[in-house]
């Protein structure tokens, strides 16, 4: 359990805990939770098994700590990114879309591969099975919150916004998990990629939202 973590008392000890956490996330991204074992963390981090057990009583405590800390880290970055997007003062649809896409892309670029691995298929506790889905849902809600002032919140616009969110998520997943058939797409530089995704979302929503709602005369 996370509560079982023994708090580090010195800088050197805190550095070892940071290394354990960083390596745990690396292993999670590479192979899922099954890859995060005491032995693999020990080998890659350079932290001895004895030092590991000074901080964690068992592997389960490590997994719990890594999951909770990762969720907290993503949440902090996400709050900051979308606060910037909401305070940008966007009055037109195209500007609001760029702000929303840049915010979600910032979070996904930093944490997307780990978020996609967050759920534990072997977990008995429902909270661990749905952690990834909850994190993605929250990210989706934040994205829509930037655009809702321009699109409205009734069921018709909510449906359009949800589909627009799916467009963005799909593009970001393809970016992080390139397929051979999309090799040209994944070689685009990041700024061009964000610009093209924003254009796609703006075109989709713009064809369905009245000009007045888009901030146009």
Is 161 among the domain residues? Answer: yes
pLDDT band at 2 (very low <50, low <70, confident <90, very high): very low
The pLDDT score that the predictor gives to residue 186 is 58
Residues of the chain above pLDDT 90, percent:
48
Is 215 among the domain residues? Answer: no
Is 213 among the domain residues? Answer: no
The pLDDT score that the predictor gives to residue 99 is 94
pLDDT band at 158 (very low <50, low <70, confident <90, very high): confident
Taking the C-alpha atoms of residue 9 and residue 167, their distance in angstroms, rounded to an integer, is 46
Contact in structure between 93 and 205 (CB atoms under 8 Å): yes
Is 38 among the domain residues? Answer: yes
Taking the C-alpha atoms of residue 52 and residue 16, their distance in angstroms, rounded to an integer, is 8
pLDDT band at 151 (very low <50, low <70, confident <90, very high): confident
Considering its fold, how many domains does the chain have in total?
1
Taking the C-alpha atoms of residue 170 and residue 168, their distance in angstroms, rounded to an integer, is 5
Tell me how crowded residue 110 is: count the other CB atoms within 10 A of its CB.
15
Is 211 among the domain residues? Answer: no
- What is the separation of C-alpha 180 from the centre of its chain, rounded to a whole number of angstroms? 24
Q: How do residues 101-143 score in pLDDT, each as one tens digit?
A: 999 999 988 998 898 888 876 655 555 557 777 888 888 899 9
Is 169 among the domain residues? Answer: yes
The H-assigned helical ranges of 32-130 are: 38-45, 49-55, 59-86, 93-115, 126-129
Is 216 among the domain residues? Answer: no
Residues of the domain holding 52: 2-206
Is 217 among the domain residues? Answer: no
Q: Domain holding 120: CATH number?
A: 1.10.357.10
């Amino acid at each position: 359990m996370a509560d079982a973590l023994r708090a580090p008392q010195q800088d050197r000890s805190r550095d070892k805990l940071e290394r354990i956490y960083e390596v745990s996330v690396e292993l999670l991204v590479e192979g899922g939770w099954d890859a995060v074992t005491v032995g693999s963390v020990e080998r890659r981090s350079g932290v001895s098994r004895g030092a590991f057990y000074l901080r964690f009583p068992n592997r389960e405590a490590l997994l719990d700590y890594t999951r909770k800390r990762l969720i907290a880290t993503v949440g902090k970055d996400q709050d900051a990114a979308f606060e910037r997007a909401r305070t940008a003062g966007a009055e037109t649809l195209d500007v609001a879309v760029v702000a929303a896409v840049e915010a979600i892309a910032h979070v996904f670029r930093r944490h997307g591969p780990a978020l996609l691995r967050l759920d534990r298929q072997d977990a008995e506790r429902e909270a661990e099975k749905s952690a990834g889905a909850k994190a993605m849902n929250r990210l989706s809600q934040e994205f829509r919150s930037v655009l809702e002032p321009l699109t409205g919140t009734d069921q018709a616009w909510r449906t359009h916004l949800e589909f627009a969110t799916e467009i963005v998520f799909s593009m970001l997943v393809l970016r992080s998990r390139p397929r051979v058939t999309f090799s040209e797409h994944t070689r685009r530089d990041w700024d061009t990629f964000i610009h093209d995704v924003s254009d796609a979302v703006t075109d989709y929503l713009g064809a369905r939202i009245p000009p007045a709602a888009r901030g146009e005369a």
